[in-house]
């Protein structure tokens, strides 16, 4: 099990003691910001997977560079990506960006995909343990 610095764990579905990621996000920031934060996590992970590196790594490695790369990948304004980050930080204040959790999400997704063929679209069922 991979941990983030402040004790938030992304774990496979069905892990005892885990709660749905979406439920945690909505509980902390409300429906709108919580769902936007989870969407941002997924879009961050997809961009990271498709580009083959952590967002911003080819530039300065800064959060600003990562946001620029996210916006460019999704063909949206940087301002929209910054708004997504604001929703993210309201839902997961212990995580400055979705980078760590996106890497965890991709690892869990790869494990789940290896187990079954219907893993695509299972992100809504991602579970977390809040430590």
Dump pLDDT digits (tens) for 75-113.
999 999 999 999 999 999 988 899 988 998 888 888 776
Residues in the chain: 131
The two most distant CA atoms of the chain are separated, in Å, by 40
Mean pLDDT of 103-125: 67
pLDDT given for residue 21 in this prediction = 85
Q: Of 11 and 51, which is predicted with more confidence?
A: 51
Q: Residue holding tokens 């920031």? A: 29
pLDDT band at 4 (very low <50, low <70, confident <90, very high): very low
Residue 28 and residue 90 in contact, taking contact as beta carbons nearer than 8 Å: yes
pLDDT given for residue 73 in this prediction = 95
Work out the burial of residue 38: count CB atoms within 10 Å of its CB; fewer than 13 is exposed, 13-18 middle, 19 or more buried. buried
DSSP 41: H
Structural domain boundaries in the chain: 8-130
């Amino acid at each position: 099990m991979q941990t983030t610095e402040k004790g938030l764990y992304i774990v496979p579905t069905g892990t005892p003691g885990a709660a749905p990621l979406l439920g945690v996000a909505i509980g902390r920031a409300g429906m709108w910001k919580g769902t936007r934060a989870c969407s941002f996590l997924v879009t961050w992970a997809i961009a990271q997977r498709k580009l083959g590196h952590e967002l911003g790594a080819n530039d300065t490695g800064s959060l600003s560079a990562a946001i620029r790369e996210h916006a460019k990948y999704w063909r949206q304004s940087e301002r929209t990506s910054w708004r997504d980050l604001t929703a993210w930080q309201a839902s997961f204040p212990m995580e400055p960006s979705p980078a760590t959790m996106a890497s965890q999400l991709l690892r869990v997704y790869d494990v789940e995909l290896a187990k079954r063929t219907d893993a695509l679209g299972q992100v809504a069922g991602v579970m977390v343990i809040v430590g």
